Structure formats: structure tokens, C-alpha cells
Amino acid sequence: MRQKQIGPYWVRKMNVKRPFGLAAAFLALAVAPAGAEEGMWTFDKFPSVKVKADLGWAPDQAWLDHVRLSSARIEGGCSSAIVSAEGLVQTNHHCVVGCVQNLSAPGNDLVVTGYLARGRAEERPCPGMALQVLTDITDITAEIAKATAGATGAALTKARNAAESRLQKACMKNREGRSCEVVSLYEGGRYNLYGYKRYEDIRLVFAPELGTAFFGGDPDNFNFPRYCLDVGYVRLYENGKPASTPEHFKLRAAPLAAEEPVFVSGNPGGTSRQLTTAELAFQRDYVLPWRLNMHAELRGRLLAFAALGAEEQRIASDTLFSQENSFKARIGMRLALVDPAVFGVKQAEEADLIKRIGADAKLKAEVGDAFGEIARATSAFSAFNQFYYYAEQAPGYGSELMNFARTLVRGAAERAKPDGQRLPGYTDATIGKTEADLLAATPVEKPLETLLISFWLSKTREYLTADDPFVRKLLGKESPEGLAARLVVGTKLGDRAERARLWKGGAKAIADSRDPLIVFVRNWDEDARAIRKRYEEEVDGPIVLAHQRLAKARFALYGDALSPDATFTLRLSYGRVRGWTEPSGRVVEPFTYFSGLSARATGAPPFKLAPSWEKRITSLEPGTIFDVSTTNDIIGGNSGSPLIDREGRVAGAIFDGNIHSLGGNYIYDGRLNRTVSVASTAILAALSEVYGASDLVAELKQ
Amino acid sequence: MRQKQIGPYWVRKMNVKRPFGLAAAFLALAVAPAGAEEGMWTFDKFPSVKVKADLGWAPDQAWLDHVRLSSARIEGGCSSAIVSAEGLVQTNHHCVVGCVQNLSAPGNDLVVTGYLARGRAEERPCPGMALQVLTDITDITAEIAKATAGATGAALTKARNAAESRLQKACMKNREGRSCEVVSLYEGGRYNLYGYKRYEDIRLVFAPELGTAFFGGDPDNFNFPRYCLDVGYVRLYENGKPASTPEHFKLRAAPLAAEEPVFVSGNPGGTSRQLTTAELAFQRDYVLPWRLNMHAELRGRLLAFAALGAEEQRIASDTLFSQENSFKARIGMRLALVDPAVFGVKQAEEADLIKRIGADAKLKAEVGDAFGEIARATSAFSAFNQFYYYAEQAPGYGSELMNFARTLVRGAAERAKPDGQRLPGYTDATIGKTEADLLAATPVEKPLETLLISFWLSKTREYLTADDPFVRKLLGKESPEGLAARLVVGTKLGDRAERARLWKGGAKAIADSRDPLIVFVRNWDEDARAIRKRYEEEVDGPIVLAHQRLAKARFALYGDALSPDATFTLRLSYGRVRGWTEPSGRVVEPFTYFSGLSARATGAPPFKLAPSWEKRITSLEPGTIFDVSTTNDIIGGNSGSPLIDREGRVAGAIFDGNIHSLGGNYIYDGRLNRTVSVASTAILAALSEVYGASDLVAELKQ
């Protein structure tokens, strides 16, 4: 099991979405194509007046409190809904598949067969899984401002960190099961303290077969119409017993109606809606097309490798899924940016902001030439972004062995430095996790490792050219294929004990090592560090500072009228049940039905029904709504969020967006951006008719 | 041997460059970044005044005549130079490799080992190869105008075809060894009659090893610095004897100097410099990125397949080369179009043209809304261009079996129609070649066929989605992999006799056939025909007509001040020996030297020296110029063209352009666009020192 690879796929998607390390405010204007339903709103600043105007209905405070307290964040990157008084939680199959895989054993692959606990005794613990319910939000903007008044530069950072730490500790003091975090919204325009009730004894109740949850596989991923039962159930336990959860959602058994208002309560992971048009153009014209070609070629290599046999298929499947998912995600992102209507909105937003800043002398002075600084840093980056990527961001392109070697080489050097001077991942606060990852029992599949390292070397040479000094240093007189094979065959880093020995041995052990992979990484790590430093100084530093000034200006000008960029904290988005019309003119209806599943099933993967469904499909009511498309503004991290109706009932579990929703990283396009959920009607029918899960259905209907 | 795949690679490149079937005039303005050296000039309208101003020197008529009569077009897609009085011709290795491959036998692969004829008796015939020397150019614009006066629509086409045919026949009458063709320049703005002396007994004299000619392989393809001896020699024979060629080039033994003026005489295949900004944006934002992703994934699949063993390597090599070459070509084309400086020039050109047309009432009336018509047709196409591609343009993605099946199914239907109503390739004038291709002894490699058909099916499903009716018709209940395997295993179309039987059997044989591939193609051929018809009516028809009006307006406004788009006829381009500066700031010098080859050779393919070079490399003069970069404006089809100095001597053989030269399809960018040649200094040194070809050297030095 490759622990770092079995997380929910929307989480992985989140990782690919941030070109630079930016998180800032978001500017929305009432310009087409951004729709009325734009916004991932915090629960303490929900724009009820606007929503009332848009939907003809808006939730009151009691509704908001109830929904917030019935929603739960899954640590690591998902969302969920508490759906019974006894701690039953509904989320996506792809948010619990890691646990399902952990519970599997040779000859008993629960990912393939699915799992249903018959009674509490069969509910099986998911180690490492934890959920949090947001209990309270406190505005601490004033405290932070007070604590940092007059400070600048490093002193400012230090003062802010100290204040945050103090407030956080006070929030948690003497309260078991509580966790607190400081949330910075609008790039520091507002600071909130979020208090959570935390559950860490989580047990698996139900997961369907992968073939049912991910029916249609990659061809249907991010597409709609869709026929996935991407749902799973776990239960919160406290003191060895099911947790008491008086605040919980009811499931709605009645079918949804087109145009009906719906809400999504969940934790969108991150958006980049504040990027300037210079940054967007760079993404659109250079970064995305290049990375897409990388994904496409590696996908081709992996598909051919996986076709060699069952074992190769097994070895390659996670990496292949990740490449295909990232490929489609970036396809959607690029398509949004090349749409003149979308880019036009971004240009209009920027022009409006510049105009408003210009009209305010104080703001104008504070913002200075932020747009120019960002454009120049982006332009500077274009000269070395591929070098930065191949040398520092992606050596080995996911190879475990390469990651081990880099952690060992860097760890030895970093640990010798004072805490404040170390690279991220090697500070006192973070080195524990780095060490744990290094020494975990991560399986190493040598053929896949060779494939990935060889791919990385070959693309590094292709994009930097064979004349590049770094490429020459990497390859010497070897070919990418030959070098990758030599490194993987020769290294002993697949052995945990050897990794532990080198980690403990520190700088001397690394200097003395003759392991070919250590020798290889040692040879160019200084080049990688140098380009990282250049990136931080010439690109990331100037851009982050300029964006902070812009974000402050935006907040001063627009305030709460705009929702902040996503921060993987609880948000509420509103919308309607609605399909869309493709630019080609094709009309996509908002619902799919069980009848469509029968029509779509071919018997050939990924359109092959699981045996349980093959047996029961003909006896299911064909008119039952299966999956549903809505206009809610969501993004990766929202996986497992409840789709909620006006009565506060759960009408579905959101599990995907359409291809256009990927552009949501940059902008919400109300014409096309759609959220995809599995409807409660399908969930209830499947549980009772296909899986015979009568106890579960009874609990859901209580 | 895959006959259709062994052509010179610049020819294949030509095939990918025309998004629609357009060929029209070209508009150039003195706006950066288009450089002074822009233009592929016809020999009868060479702009000597401009060239004199730019270079400080310009050729006189005698120079032009001599160069024209010493240049030879290689039918099928290359250029060459006559370099001795006894018919010796210099071109690229990749322009003769098809002949070399044909002359090879099991255990004697001349592509790998190279070939040198010791004496005339060892000069071996290259069947099918033919060369043409342009002897005269006649302006027939007035005759065509007269013959077509007053005619419109189909009558116009008929009258023009008749006039062309009459003039062509008259041109050839009673003159053996002469061929004539009508050349339409400026999209019909000017008509010329080109008379050629044609040679069809061509014999191989010398070809180096593939590893020498294509040293650096794909990583170095379209890159510079470069170290390729991409040169080959053939000899023209007449009446069984070496042809007498008093008009020929001398080779220059002295090294080239930086900034020295140089000329290229050759046959650029085609450019699309007249595309409107609407068409360019469509290429930039949609077509090129999508096709790049296709190339990248198939490349990945082929690389993994080729890595399985020597036989798989052999089977896949041509297709892999073609994918890698097309991939890089489109990379360069896309990079040109996303460069704001380049696109800005295209916008400025268009604005200038619109302004000038607007200032002339007659022109304005004639042109009408040509830009709007093109933009609307392009926009209409965006809704179905992928369907058109998968269903009509690329079924099987190069699969021989699929091509056979489509030819058989279509041929049966088309031959039943009157000549004028048949599809291209099935008319009386063209069906002979179609039949010959169908019945040729083309080898069919089943694993590769399965790979290609499976890839096509899988991408068709991916881009059109599993919901598309055409996809459903293609796949039925099968997976792409399963269907491809079933078709390839079951079909008998790999057997020439079976193809001949079905071809001769006509409509009845096709209707009765139970061959799975025939049944498969029969099932959806009507859909493919329908989308072709829609393309012709809604896209190609309106666009071609609008472009003709624009081309006429351009010619009226700019006349001969602009060179016409390339037409695979003889052109002269001028420039200087010069490197360039990458946008990243990296400076690329114009020369490489033998010393650089030693440094670059690693011992691992594609940087492995051939044995002949390994033996001799240390005794070569390290300061000898090897390859050279110049500013000449060339494109695919120019392969093998002589690089000529002021004295009319051959200073090299052009064989490639840098990555930026690919943008030359749309625009000549003088900052970056460079031609790459192998220098005569390297050729002479290699022939005498490495290959011991003393007779050849003596002949070249005469």
C-alpha cells in the first residue's frame, strides 16, 4: 500500500492547483460569465440578503448553525455529513478507500468487493483517520493587529506567530477533544479562530465496490451524465462507543427537482482566484500546456506498462490514476483560461480594481506597483521555471526511492543548522513527520521506480536540452534509461533499516555513503538548492508581498461582499439543481437515472457492473435519480460534502465537478461550472435493494 | 519496410502543418519581430534592391540563373544541389534514407552501417526516386484570365482547369525528359508555368550511418548546437550513364564566417502565413494543445512498447519517430503563437490590411466581410472539429489495416458514381495511385496495428465522451483495447490477395464481406461522410472563398513586395550566418565544431558515435566547423537545399530549423527563427578522413 497515494483523489487534485505558494483574497464582480452563485462563504458571514435575492429563499441563523454542527471535516482533505444521532457519517467512497485498502488482505480485496458491517461489532477502525466539527468562530483580527502593531519584516512575522500560538493555546486549554486553528482570510485581511470538536476513533460501516463507486473510470471522471455511487459511511466513536450526535442531518428520500435551491457545506481546499492576468497568462500559455504534455506522455507509458499483466496493473494503478486525474484537471483549467469570456472577466476585474485603487490616494500609495512587480517576477520566472521544476520540485517525478534519497541528503545538512535557518520539512516543528514518512514501511516497486526516474530524466533533458549544464551533471555519459536502471538496481534505500541507519548517521553517514542513489543526489543537490533560492528571492518573495498588498486593497474596497479564497475550512455555497449547455450546443440535463446505468453498462471495464448490481439491476426502479448536477461553487476538498435542501436535509453527497468546474481554481463560471453529487434517492435504493443494508437504511431514515 | 513512412521527415512535417486545406498569399510588414530576411522568393521576382539594402550585396541575373539551374527538387518532398559536372547531387541523409533502406537486406542494414560506392559500378539505383531542375518560368496570368473571363462558380473551375491543362500539355509537347506544372501563387493572384528537366535514373553514391546523420536523435531534433552529418549523395543518370551537368555548384572548402550573407535555394513545402487572427487563435488555444497531448500520450505508449525488445523497437521506430517529430513541430508552432510579440505582428498586419481595404471602395466591395466569414466558420468548426478529426481524418491513427478497410469500403461506393461526384482519391485521375497503395506489399505489424487502433478508439471516447452517439456506435459494448484486438486478430486485410479480391469485387464484395474490419468500418462510414460534408459546407468552403478574396486584395495592395506562401516550388531565401538569443537570455553561437562532437558523445544512444567516427575522431581537426545556424527563412521541403555563399558556392546542406523555425508556418520571426545546415567543411573532412571517400572528395573539389 502506498500510503501517500491512497488519499481521496480530490485531495491529490488540490496539490496540483497552486502554481506558486499563494493564497489570497478573491475579487468578484457582477460581470458575465461569473454567475450569481459564485462564492464559498464562511458561516459567520453568509450573505443572506444576496442569496434571498438570487434564490428567493435564504437560510436563517438556526439553519446555518444546524448545518455547520452537522458537517465534519475529514483531516487530510475531505468533507462529510453526520447523518444519525449515533455518529453515523456519510462521505464519498474515495474519501474512505484508504481505510478500505488498509483493511484488505491478500485474497480479500475489500476495494474490489466492497464492505458492509453487519452490526456495530463489524464496524472496523480506520487508523489515522480523524474528523472535526466546527463548533465556534471567533474574530481575532483586532488581537492580531494589536499584537503586531508597529512591527515590520521578520519582527512582524514573529509577533504574529506568537499571538496566533497564544490564542490557539488559550482556545484549547483544559478542553479535551477540542482543536483550534487560526484561519487567515483575505490574505490576512481577516483573522478568525476556529474551534473544533475532534473525533479520532473512526470506524468503517459501508463502502461499495470500487467498480460501483467509480463506475465509468477515467472516461467518465469529471464528466456528466454520470452513474457513480461514490458514497461511504463511517461512524464516530467516543470512549469505545458510538458518539452521541444530536446535531445531525436527516436524509431526504424524495427526489430533487430541477431548479430547486441547494447548498453545499464543506471544506474547499484552495483556489487561486486572485492571480493577476499576467500570472494567468503564464499559466495558460506556458505552465499548463507543458505540464499537460508531461501527464499525457507518462500516462501513455504507464498504460503500456499496466497492460503487461495483473501485477504491473496493480503496481501502476495509483500512479496512473493520479496522472489521469491531474491531466483532466489541468485540461479543465486550461480550457477555462483560453475562453475569451472567462479571461475577459479577469481582465475586467483587474481593471476595476486598478481604477478603484487609483481613486484612493492612501490605497494607491500602499499598493504601489504591485501589478508590475508580479508581472516582472512572473516574466523572470519564465526564464527558469522548467529548471526549477525538474531540479527542485519534481526530481524522480514521484519515485519513492528518489524522495528517500533527497530527504536523507537534505536532512543530514539541514539538521546541522539552527532551527530558523532550515528548509521547510526539516524544522523542529515538522521534522517528526518527515522522519516518520522516511522510515514508514512504504513498499517500493522497482519497475515503477525505474519508469518514473527514467521519465523524469528524459523530460529534464528534453525541456532543458542536452546542452544544459544541469542535464550534463545529471546524466554524465549515461542515457536516462540506463541511469535510472542502474540507480534503482543498485540502491539499498528500499530497505527501511538502511534508511534509518543513514538518517541516524547524519552528515557523516551521507558523506561516506556509496549507495548509488545517495551519490547521485549528493552530486546535484547544491544546484537544486541554488535554483530554489533564486525562485524564492526573484519570484515567490516579490509575488507574495505584492499579493498581500493587493489583498488588503481588495478587502478595503469590497470587504465581505466577496467570499475569501478557499482555505480547507468550512464554507457554504448555494446554487440550484441545473444542467448546462456545452459550447458545442449539446444540452446536458441535470439528472441521471438507474435506467441510464443499465444502458451504459457494457460488461467491459470501466463500464462493467459489480456482481451485486448485475444481480439486482433489473429489479431497481429505473426512474430513480442517480447522480445530479448543481450550480454550487466548490473545489477539491469538498469531496463528501452534503448536498442540502432548504429544509436542511441531505439530498446527496457531492463527489466531483464537471470538466468546467476545474476552471473554478481561477474563476466561477456560472454558465458551465457544475457540481456533481450522488443523490440520496440512489443511495437509499442501493443500500436497501442492492446491498440489503436494512439496518443502515433504518438508521438513515430515523 | 513501411513505404509511406520512410520518406524524409520534413515531408512528414509538411503534412501536419495545414489545419485546413488552405494555400494563399502572405502579408509581411516591417514590424518587429518579423526580420528583414523574411521571404521565400521566386527566382523571377527576386527583390535584389531590398536584398542589397539589407545585406550590402545582392545577386545578379547570372548568379540567379546559375543557382536555379544547379538546384534540383526531389519528388516527394526534398531539395538538393548538383555538385559536379557528372551529375553528382548533394542532399540530406534523411532524403535518401528510403533508398538506403530499400537497398538493405537481412543482416546487412545499410541504414545502420552507411553506404559508400567505390566507383561508378557500385552506385546503386534508387527505384522510384526522381529529380527535377527548374529550367524556365513563364507568366501565364493573362492567359488564365482570358480563358476564365466572365465565368463563375463551377464553370470558372472548369475553364481554369482546361486552360491549365492546355498550357501544360503545350509546354511538354515533343520534349522528352521535360515536365511542366502550373503554379498558382498568391492564391491565384499570379499564375506561372514552371518547366523542368526531369531525371528518373537516380543512384546512391554515399550515405553515412544513421547514428552519424541523426546524432543526438530526438533530444537534439530541432535543437542547436547540433552535430549531425545529415548529408547524402546520389548521381543523376541518363541513358545508363552519369548525366552531364555543366551547370553545377562548386563546394566551398573555406570555413564560413559569422554574419556572412548566405542564401538557400530549395523547395519550401507550404506555409500558412495568411491565416487570420481568428484562425490563429483557434490553432493556438484549441487545436495545437489537443494534438500535442495526443502525440505525447502515443509517444509514451510507443516508447514503452519499443522498450520491450529489439523486434518491438524495429516495429515501432518509424511511428515513434513520426510522433516525436510532429510533437516537437507543434511545440514550436504553439510557442510562436503564444508569444505576444508574434501574435501582435499578426494583429498589426491584419489591422493594416483591413485599413487599406477600407480605403479602397472597389476592394472593399470585393472583399466584403471575409474576416467575419472566416471567424464564423472557425467558430462553427470548434463545435465539431474533434468529431471531424476522429471520425473522418484520423480513424486508426495511422493503422495500415484501418486504411485498407476504409479504402475498400469507400472505393466500392465511390467507383459506382460518375467521376465528377467522387471523393478525392477515387476520381479517374487519382484512383490509380489509391489502388496501387492498397495493393502494395505493405507489411502489417499486428502488435503495432492493435496499439494504434486501440489508441484511436480510446482518444475518440475521451474527447467525444462515452455519451457521444458516434462513440457508442464505434465501441458498442466493447472496450477500446478489446475491440482493437478483436479487429486486428480477425481481419484478413493484411493479405494482399484478399484486398485485391475485395477491391475487384466492388460493392457486392464489400456488402457480403464478414471480415470484422470491413463490417466495423461499414457500420460508421456514413457518419464519417456526413461530418466530412458538414466540414466542407460549413467550414472549408466558406473559408477558402473568403481567403481567395483576401489574397486578391493583398496582391492588389502589396504586389510583389511580399513573397508568396510556399508551394513546394523553387525559392531563394537570403540571410546571414548568425546564432540567436533565447528568451531565457541564453546565447546560442552560430557554429559547432568537431571538438564539440567529442565532448557530446556519451557512448549511450542517441549520443553514441558510429564505429567509423570512434576510430577517427581524435585525428580530426577539432576546430573544423560542423553545423551552422543562419537566418534564412525556410520550412519543411527545404531539406537538402544548398547553403550558398556570395560566390555561388555550396557552403553546406540545410537539414533542419531550430525549434523557433516551426513558427515559420505562421510567421518569420527574425529574432529567433534559424536554419540549421551541415557545413561543407565538415562534409569534406568527414568524407576524406572518416570515410576515405577520396574519389568523391576529388569530384567535389573539381
How does pLDDT run across A254-271, given as a tens digit for each residue?
A: 999 999 999 999 999 999
Q: Name the residue of chain A whose CA is nearest to B476's CA.
A: A602
Which has the closest alpha carbon to B675: B643, B631, B612?
B631
In the predicted structure, residue B18 carries a pLDDT above the cut 50: no
**The pLDDT of residue A132 is above 50:** yes
CA gap B606, B603 in Å, rounded? 8
Beta bridge partners of B81: B71, B90
Mean pLDDT of A495-522: 98
* CA B251/CA B233 separation, integer angstroms: 13
Q: Which residues of A touch B225 (CB under 8 A)?
A: 467
Question: How many of the other CB atoms lie within 10 Å of CB of A310?
Answer: 8
Instruction: Name the minimum distance, in Å, from the CA of A28 to any CA of chain B.
Output: 25
pLDDT tens per residue, range A266-305? 999 999 999 999 999 999 999 999 999 999 999 999 999 9
Contact by Cβ (8 Å): B67, B572: yes
The mean-pLDDT minimum among A332-336, A693-697, B10-14 falls in B10-14
Mapped onto helix, strand or coil, the DSSP state of residue A217 is: helix
Q: Which of A282, A291, A294, A303 to mutate to test the interface with B (most CBs of B within 10 A)?
A: A303
CA geometry: angle A435, A436, A439, nearest 5 deg? 85
User: Would you call B300 an interface residue with chain A, using a CB distance cutoff of 8 Å?
Assistant: yes
Mean pLDDT of chain A: 91
Instruction: Name which of A302, A385, A452, A584 to mutate to probe chain B: the one with the most chain B Cβ atoms within 10 A of its Cβ.
Output: A584
DSSP string, A449-515: HHHHHHHHHHHHHHHH-TT-HHHHHHHTT--HHHHHHHHHHH--TTSHHHHHHHHHHHHHHHHH---
Cβ-contact A572, A51 below 8 angstroms: no
Determine the Cα–Cα distance for residues A247 and A120; give it in Å rounded to an integer: 21
Please tell me which of the candidates B462, B467, B478 has its beta carbon nearest to residue A225.
B467
Closest CA of chain B from A8, distance in Å? 23
At B545 the pLDDT is 86
Residue A33 scores a pLDDT above 70: no
Q: Could you tell me the three cell numbers for B68? A: 536555379
Does pLDDT of B12 surpass 50?
Answer: no
Q: Inter-chain contact A300–B305, Cβ cutoff 8 Å?
A: no
Q: If pLDDT is split at 50, 70 and 90, which confidence band does A127 have?
A: confident
CB B274 within 8 A of CB B187: yes
Amino acid at A40: M
Average pLDDT over residues B411-425: 90
Mutate which: A215, A220, A291, A297, vs B, most B CBs within 10 A: A297
| Grid cell for residue B266 | 530549395
Q: Is A301 on the interface with B (CB under 8 A)?
A: yes
User: Is A302 in Cβ contact with B467 (below 8 Å)?
Assistant: no
**What is the DSSP annotation of B412-425?**
HHHTTS-GGGSPTT
Give the DSSP H/E element, type plus range, for residue A553.
helix A541-558
> Is A299 in CB contact (< 8 Å) with chain B?
yes
Q: DSSP class of residue A41?
A: B
| Interface-testing mutation among B226, B337, B462, B580, with chain A (most A C-beta atoms within 10 A) | B462
Q: What is the pLDDT of residue B2?
A: 29
B269-B275-B278 Cα angle (round to 5):
150
- B654-692 residue pLDDT tens: 999 999 999 999 999 999 999 999 999 999 999 999 999
Residues of B in contact with A220 (CB under 8 A): 466
Disruptive mutation site among A308, A382, A602 for chain B (greatest number of B CBs within 10 Å):
A602
- List the one residue out of B501, B489, B463, B503 whose CA is nearest residue B401: B489
Q: Rounded to whole angstroms, how far apart are CA atoms B243 and B102?
A: 23
Question: Among the ranges A125-134, B83-92, B100-109, B168-177, which has the highest mean pLDDT value?
Answer: B83-92
pLDDT at position A311 is 84
CA A215 to chain centroid:
21
Peptide bond into B225 cis (omega under 30): yes
pLDDT at residue A230 is higher than 60: yes
Counting residues of chain A whose pLDDT is more than 70, the rounded percentage is: 95
Distance CA B690, CA B692 (A): 6
pLDDT at res. B15: 29
**pLDDT band, very low/low/confident/very high, at B202 (cuts 50, 70, 90):** very high
Q: Report which of B208, B213, B244 is spatially closest to residue B227, judged by C-alpha positions.
A: B213
Hey, is the C-beta of A302 within 8 angstroms of any chain B C-beta? yes
Identify the band that residue A98 occupies on the pLDDT scale cut at 50, 70 and 90. confident
**What are the tens digits of pLDDT across the range B609-650?**
999 999 999 999 999 999 999 999 999 999 999 999 999 999
Q: Which residue has the higher pLDDT, B305 or B156?
A: B305
Distance of CA A247 to the CA centre of its chain: 27
Q: How far apart are CA B582 and CA A382, in angstroms?
A: 12
Closest chain A residue by Cα to residue B606:
A479
Closest Cα to residue A226, out of A583, A516, A590?
A590
Determine the average pLDDT of the residues in A333-345: 95
C-alpha torsion sign, points A299, A303, A304, A305: positive
The string over A189-211, giving b where at least 16 C-beta atoms fall within 10 Å of a residue's C-beta and e elsewhere, is: bbbbbbbbbbbebbbbbbbbbbb
If one compares A189 and B220, the residue with the highest pLDDT of the two is B220
Edge-to-edge order in the sheet of strand B571-576: B571-576, B261-266, B642-644, B650-657, B675-679, B625-630, B591-593
Q: How many CB pairs under 8 A join A and B?
A: 122
Q: Check pLDDT > 70 for residue B490.
A: yes
Q: Are B637 and B269 in contact (CB under 8 A)?
A: yes
DSSP state, residue B687: I
- The conformation of residue B30, written as its DSSP 8-state character, comes to S
| B383·A583 Cβ contact <8 A | yes
* A293·B298 Cβ contact <8 A: no
Backbone angles phi, psi at A642, to 5 degrees: -75, 140
pLDDT at A31 over 60: no
Query: Average pLDDT of chain B?
Result: 91
Distance of CA A214 to the CA centre of its chain: 18
- Contact assessment for residue A409 and residue A510, using Cβ atoms and an 8 Å cutoff: yes
CA-nearest residue to A382 within chain B is B584
Interface membership of B304 toward A (CB under 8 Å): yes
580-609 in chain B: CB under 8 A from chain A: 583-585, 600, 602-605, 607
Confidence of residue B195 (pLDDT cuts 50, 70, 90): very high
In the block, cell 500510503 appears at A3
| Grid cell locating B474 | 464505434
Query: What value does the CA radius of gyration of chain A take, rounded to a whole number of Å?
Result: 25
SS3 content of chain A, % helix, strand, coil (to 5): 50, 15, 30
Residue of chain B minimizing CA distance to A337: B285
Identify the pLDDT of residue B437: 86
| Residue A673 pLDDT | 95
B401 and B494 in contact (C-beta within 8 Å)?
A: yes
Quick one: three-class SS letters along B566-614? CCCCCEEEEEEECCEECCCCCEECCEEEHHHHHHHCCCCCCCCCCHHHH
The answer on pLDDT for B283 being more than 80 is yes
CA B50/CA B60 separation, integer angstroms = 13
Q: Pick B12 or B300 by higher pLDDT.
A: B300
CA distance A383 to chain B (A): 4
* Contact between residue A657 and residue A222 where contact means Cβ atoms under 8 Å apart: yes
Per-residue model confidence (pLDDT) at position A8: 33
Kindly give, in sequence order, each residue whose CB lies less than 8 Å from that of residue B389, ignoring residues fewer than 6 positions away. none
| pLDDT at residue number A21 | 26
Chain B residue whose CA is closest to A285:
B338
Instruction: Using pLDDT thresholds of 50, 70 and 90, give the confidence band for residue B35.
Output: low
Report the alpha-carbon distance of residue B211 to residue A438 in Å, rounded. 43
Adjacent-strand bridge partners of B88: B235
Report the alpha-carbon distance of residue A391 to residue A530 in Å, rounded: 10
Of B327, B583, B604, nearest to A482 by CB-CB distance is: B604
Closest-CA residue of B relative to A293 is: B293
Q: Please indicate whether, in this complex, the C-beta atoms of A585 and B383 are within 8 angstroms of each other.
A: yes
Question: Is A602 within 8 Å of B476 when comparing Cβ atoms?
Answer: yes
Which 405-464 residues of chain A touch chain B by CB within 8 A? 461-462
Alpha-carbon distance B525 to B368, whole Å? 37
| Residue of B45, B51, B96 lying closest to B68 (CA atoms) | B45
What pLDDT was estimated at residue A76?
Answer: 85
Query: Which chain A residues touch B293 with a CB distance below 8 Å?
Result: 292-293, 296, 327, 331
pLDDT at A13 over 60: no
